[in-house]
Amino acid sequence: MFDVLIIGGGVSGISCALILGSAKKKPFVADKKIGIFTHQKSSNLQEALFNNAYGIPAGTLGSDLLPQSTQQLQDQYPHISQIENEKVIRIEGFAGNFTVVTNKNSYLTKAIVVAVNSSQTFAIEGLMHYVIPHKKSIPEKNRFQLENTDHLVAEGIYVAGTLAGWRSQLAIAAGSGASVATDILTLWNDGNQTHAHDSIR
Ligand X SMILES: Cc1cc2nc3c(=O)[nH]c(=O)nc-3n(C[C@H](O)[C@H](O)[C@H](O)COP(=O)(O)OP(=O)(O)OC[C@H]3O[C@@H](n4cnc5c(N)ncnc54)[C@H](O)[C@@H]3O)c2cc1C
Per CB under 6 A, the list member of 4, 11, 153, 178 interacting with ligand X is: 11
Residue 8 in the binding site for ligand X (CB under 6 A): yes
With residue 61 as reference, give the H or E element that holds it.
strand 60-61
Helix axes 62-76, 11-22, angle to 10 degrees: 20
Residue 53 in the binding site for ligand X (CB under 6 A): yes
The total number of residues shown for the chain amounts to 201
Residue 188 in the binding site for ligand X (CB under 6 A): no
Residue 37 in the binding site for ligand X (CB under 6 A): yes
Residue type, 85: N
Q: Quick check: 83 and 106 in contact, CB under 8 A?
A: no
How many residues touch ligand X (CB under 6 A)? Answer: 35
Per CB under 6 A, the list member of 1, 30, 42, 67 interacting with ligand X is: 42
CA of residue 92 relative to chain centroid, distance: 18
Per CB under 6 A, the list member of 20, 124, 153, 196 interacting with ligand X is: 124
Pattern 85-104, ligand X, x by CB under 6 A: --xx----------------
Helix axes 170-188, 11-22, angle to 10 degrees: 40
**Bridge-based pairing state of the strands 144-146 and 131-133:** antiparallel
Q: Quick check: 117 and 163 in contact, CB under 8 A?
A: yes
Residue 145 in the binding site for ligand X (CB under 6 A): no
Minimum separation from the CB atom of position 49 to ligand X (A): 6
Judged by the rule CB under 6 A, the positions of this chain that interact with ligand X are 7-13, 37, 39-45, 47-48, 50, 52-53, 62, 87-88, 115-117, 124, 161-163, 168-171, 173
